[in-house]
Amino acid sequence: MKFDTPATTNAIDQLKVVGKPLDRIDGPFKCTGSAPYAYERHDVLPQAAYGVVVGAGIAKGRIASMDLAAARAAPGVLAVVTARNAGKLAKGKMNTAKLLGGPQIDHYHQAIALVVAQTFEQARAAAELVRVRYESTPGAYDLAALKDSAKTAKPNENTGPTETAVGDFAGAFDAAPVQLDTTYTTPDQSHAMMEPHATLAAWDGDKLTVWTSNQMIDWGVSDLARTLGVPKKNVRLISPFIGGGFGGKLFVRADALLAALGARAARRPVKVALQRPLIFNNTTHRPATIQRIRIGAGKDGRISAIAHESWSGDLPGGGPEAAVLQTRLLYAGAHRMTAMRLAELDLPEGNAMRAPGEAPGLMALEVAMDELAERLGMDPVALRILNDTQVDPEKPARPFTQRSLVQCLRHGAERFGWNARQASPGTRREGRWLVGMGVAAAFRNNMLQASGARVRLDSQGRVTVETDMTDIGTGTYTILAQTAAETMGLPLERITVRLGDSLMPVSCGSGGQWGAANSTAGVYAACMALRRQVAQKLGLDPAAAQFADGQVTAGGRTVPLAQAAGGGELVAEDKIEYDKALSEKAQQSTFGAHFVEVGVDVDSCEIRVRRMLAVCAAGRILNPKSARSQVIGAMTMGVGAALMEDLVVDKRRGFFVNHDLAGYEVPVHADIPHQEVVFLDEVDASSTPLKAKGVGELGICGVGAAVANAIYNATGVRVRDYPITLDKLLERMPTGA
């Protein structure tokens, strides 16, 4: 189905099932422990052996020698895989050949060996017997030290141009009556998901099947096939349940590659789960940034000049953290400049983590807007509203299809009680607590991607949906079932959804908050194809046929839907595709506003988040219950980024020191108060047939800045280097506060 002329109404607009806050249909499986995750497929391969990964003990250099004799002789050992016996590995899309290092070492804890044994305990013990002698060479591990030598990043499909300029920024900034020129830093951060990167692999002749935890099935199949040098048709990837991804499982990692290599070497199925330290140092992370923001404005608060420059680092051949993207679109201003600069670092790979680019970028931009508001003597909400724009500020001829930022800010301010905020920081006190409020705008683009599905109608009137789409805990099973139920006129219990298998039609996958809108559109396309088949089988006019309550009605006739299947089944397959010209003519984005209230202890500077509100405008909300769950999870991640999360770099040896869940702090239940989420009632007919957009990443965008702004409002201490820990407040807290 080509989506190029948005219809005003369609089958989804009945809203009998879609748009309802229904319970997740996968919930009972997860609550009872019966959902089969990748490492737990005992029913599939009960005779699987176990592999344990050996990670490099240096960050840069080479392996001088590796003694495997003791490991190979250890009890239960079936095989030891290294770069020397793994065969030639080709370079995949995400440079998967580097997932197995040796003799060259690219970063700390890069996988250098896999020990396969009968039991996990045997494999773990034998892995400790691998003796490696390294020759270390000096590496680059300090972004700040390399800032001045960083180069303009090369553009890619995620960044667009890495430098933009409109008008005369330098001249307009110099002429502005009110100027702001500040620098902010964000640290390296980890996904820290509950389920580790885990894979179970088995060969059947020259055909490979992997059960793995992966967000993008088709990407994974392509990368594994290319890396291993086998035809893509010979690789099957299965991932029906994923215990958290956040972007860290967009690409196949060392567990998948080594499980496949281990299974080939041991001639039996092998399962591999990365140890927690390797998840931090071996897989991807959100890279640190240094961000300089300059804003020039008139005394009335109107922005005339705005510039955002960001520095980040990655391994050679890597890409930048695109922290300037939102600044290109969020606020008006005739004279503009953005730039992304990249330093080569010998740290583990930097890559996508929930809302890559916007999440750290807004942590800087939205604090800068608060600082500008203070210099102007304006209310921070009023300043943002004043500088709203309904067109792309870099391309004024390009309007937004929908932009409800002002509505989000106004509704949120009223609901949160913003009028009670004290404009002078450090003036509201409740006992031992200094209390403050903060606000930040939220922004995330809406990305359209082709997505396919197959649907089957059986003789009992049940519809089965099949697609390689994944559910990373976001409620995909449920919203796809809702889409099929709505389109086919069936109750939800008459729908079965099967996900995460590369034998099924290729979907958009889960990531970038594109999953819900595009995957449901793909299911809608397949269901519409099935509706046409059904009508033709029943001798009804497809254009006039109405599907409701398990019946099909047209031309005065009503026939049970199941009758169309006869004694067998009807099968239809289709995908949603988009006219690229639409995105060139108009900008599609999602918007929101975050409001936060914090308390700061006057003596210890302990920070407590007391209230949180998110107001989101993201097109039609397909399931308010699961969407709220996504947003409050994102808000919690935003609190973690603001107050706790910091992958500490050992700048001498080049690794993340706090590489476990004990040392890498994230918010727990006691840290988070009740969170309120409001979805504005809107649809965007230019987005998908369901008129929906994504919301899962919008929920984190701006939260860190709202927390930071609330802390400043409470204490009068402005911290520009995240995370905002109590020591940074203590050293600057006014005496007698």
Residues annotated catalytic, as ranges: 697
Cβ-contact 360, 344 below 8 angstroms: no
CA 588, CA 398: separation in Å to the nearest integer? 10
Q: What is the DSSP string of 162-188?
A: SEEEES-HHHHHHH-SEEEEEEEEE--
CA 673, CA 482: separation in Å to the nearest integer? 31
Q: What is the DSSP letter of 399?
A: E
CA 708, CA 438: separation in Å to the nearest integer? 7
CA 175, CA 435: separation in Å to the nearest integer? 37
Please list the residues that pair with 303 across neighbouring strands.
297
Backbone angles phi and psi of 85, in degrees to 5: -115, 10
Backbone angles phi and psi of 707, in degrees to 5: -65, -45
AA identity, residue 236:
R
Per-residue 3-state assignment (H helix, E strand, C coil) for 529-589: HHHHHHHHHCCCCCCCCEEECCEEEECCEEEEHHHHHCCCEEEEEEEEEECHHHHHHCECE
Longest dimension (CA), the chain: 84
Cα dihedral 246, 251, 255, 256, rounded to 10, equals: 130
AA identity, residue 588:
Q
Q: How many CB atoms lie within 10 A of CB 204?
A: 9
CA 39, CA 197: separation in Å to the nearest integer? 9
DSSP reduced 3-state for 52: strand
Q: What is the DSSP letter of 608?
A: E
Nearest to 473 by CA among 283, 696, 219, 694: 696
Cβ-contact 114, 51 below 8 angstroms: yes
Q: How far is CA 553 from CA 138, 344, 489, 539, 548, in A?
A: 74, 64, 11, 11, 8
CA 113, CA 82: separation in Å to the nearest integer? 5
CA 31, CA 301: separation in Å to the nearest integer? 52
Q: What is the CA radius of gyration of the chain?
A: 27
Cβ-contact 306, 296 below 8 angstroms: yes
| Cβ-based burial of 402 (10 A; exposed 0-12, middle 13-18, buried ≥19) | buried
Is residue 592 within a helix (H) or strand (E), and if so which, with residue range? strand 589-601
Please list the residues that pair with 603 across neighbouring strands.
none
Backbone angles phi and psi of 25, in degrees to 5: -75, -15
Please identify which residue in the block is written with the tokens 């299947």.
565
Q: What is the DSSP letter of 49?
A: E
Backbone angles phi and psi of 113, in degrees to 5: -165, 155
CA 613, CA 632: separation in Å to the nearest integer? 9
Q: What is the DSSP letter of 285?
A: B
> Chain centroid to CA 586: how far?
24
For 419, the token pair is 């009028």
Cβ-contact 245, 213 below 8 angstroms: yes
User: Using a CB cutoff of 8 Å and minimum separation of 24, what contacts does 532-541 make?
Assistant: 532/572, 533/564, 533/570, 533/572, 534/457, 534/561, 534/564, 534/570, 537/564, 537/566, 537/570, 538/563, 538/564
